[in-house]
Amino acid sequence: MKNLFTLSLLSVLLFTSCDEDNNIENSSVEYATSGHLVNAVVQTSAGVGTSHFLGYFEDEVPTTVDLTQYTSYGNMHSLTSYKKYLFNGNSESSIANNLERYQVNVETKELELTGEIVTTSSIGALKIISDEVGLFTLSEDLALYVFNPISMTVTKRIEVPNAVKIPYNHKQSYYSIIYREADKKVFLPLSTRNEASPAYYYGVVDEKSHVWLEVIDLDTMVWESTAVHDNAQDIGSRGNENFMVDESGNIYITCQGSYGLDGKASVYATVDARPQILKIPAGLTEFDMDYSFNPVEVYNPYLAGNFAQFMQGAIYRENGIAYACISTEIDSARISELLGLFAQNLLDGAGYDELRYLVINSATSRWVSLDLVNKTVAVLEGIPLTAGYAYPFSQEFGGKFYFNVFDNVSENGMYEYDPATGGATKHYELSAGGQAVQYIQLQE
């Protein structure tokens, strides 16, 4: 599948500019400039993804798809699309570290590697801004890399000289990139964790909760400052990482909280331990400390009694309206029973796997519309209940939005929502090949 073309590690680490062209498109091959890609993850019984099936459809996606008839790949969930290109971290090996670019071979209808940059550790986050500018971070390096996504050459490594680091945590990285076009500011949320902690949650220092954003000016390509919020945890969103920037440049940032893992659960949970949306106002690089929006409890105050709440897959539309997948159902009797055993340290391995599977895959959430200005929530009609923690995916193509829906009984596919009509229809259903996680349209 691969035709490797590598960039030396020395040039990745020490460059100020790099002229080596890592574009390895085959001039004799026709690559697709339109069409549809359907991606699904194969999970274990405990809800852990192991591989991906990915199918390409030239004209339209059939109403029912058996992805086992298409190619199986390794790690393809983190695909980032830009026009006719697909970008990914290393797809096949847990040892090699690459930033990979793919295109669809029209004849074979399979992904073909057409560009690659070898890196010193795995890709943390990736964002494509234009034909000339892409950004990525690495999992073991607190810096921002600028590259050309057409030539696949690294052009700059931007240091973060005063980066926040938690000395007793084993992992410090930037797993998301937020870009504000109005003033060309980049915001890098710090992901830090300590796997030795039985709680295993993000952003807690000396019993206080924090999120940190390193601010970089992309015009000058220098680090500017650190934005800190001291009443939130786990900045980010499972599934796609769609941080929201509105037309004026206001940034809305999702924080998941602690999933109940710190003991702050049910009605005893504090604001920082629950999902919330935070805000950085247009033109500023600090949080608005008066803005906090938990859509779950706005939707139904009784959900304060849930062990954990979920808010995932957020995506911005326009005029202060966004969409997200949030918890809307009370914990089931079985989940409550297993949680009670877990709290008493009476849960065996099989019981823990069952609890994990039910939490991830039970249909307890809905796709909703969020008014970020007035802090209101409305269910998107026509889209059924879905698993709120199982890779919620949202994407916009041509003014329509696409949301995956999955439960462990009957639903496994993608719904199309048209804001112009307020109606939703099932776009396709997967009959085999794993759980639907991504839908991508290629463009010229």
Query: Does residue 102 sit within a domain?
Result: no
Tell me the C-alpha distance between 64 and 406, whole Å: 15
Tell me the C-alpha distance between 428 and 60, whole Å: 10
Tell me the C-alpha distance between 232 and 289, whole Å: 11
Strands (E), 58-164: 64-66, 71-73, 80-82, 85-89, 98-105, 110-118, 123-128, 134-138, 141-148, 153-159
**Which of 284, 272, 285 lies closest to 235, judged by CA?**
272
Task: Match 């793919």 to its residue by tokens.
Answer: 102
Threshold 0.85, pTM exceeds: yes
Q: Tell how strand 64-66 and strand 423-432 pair up.
A: parallel
Cβ atoms within 10 Å, residue 164: 16
Query: Does residue 179 sit within a domain?
Result: yes
Query: Does residue 124 sit within a domain?
Result: no
What residue numbers bound the domain in which 203 lies? 160-292
**Sequential pLDDT tens for the chain (444 residues):** 333 222 332 233 333 334 567 888 889 999 999 999 999 988 765 555 578 899 999 999 999 999 999 998 887 777 899 999 999 987 665 567 899 999 999 999 999 999 999 999 889 999 999 999 999 999 888 999 999 999 999 999 999 999 998 877 777 889 899 999 999 999 999 988 776 654 545 666 666 788 999 999 999 999 999 999 999 988 876 656 668 999 999 999 999 888 877 778 888 899 999 999 999 999 999 999 999 999 999 999 999 999 889 999 999 999 999 999 999 999 899 988 998 898 788 989 899 889 888 887 889 999 999 999 999 999 999 999 999 887 788 999 999 999 999 987 889 999 999 999 999 999 999 999 998 989 999 999
The pair of three-digit structure tokens given for residue 397, joined into one six-digit string:
């193509």
Query: Does residue 240 sit within a domain?
Result: yes
Query: Does residue 89 sit within a domain?
Result: no
Query: Does residue 248 sit within a domain?
Result: yes
Number of domains present in the structure of the chain: 1
Query: Does residue 280 sit within a domain?
Result: yes
Query: Does residue 182 sit within a domain?
Result: yes
The pair of three-digit structure tokens given for residue 435, joined into one six-digit string:
């759980």
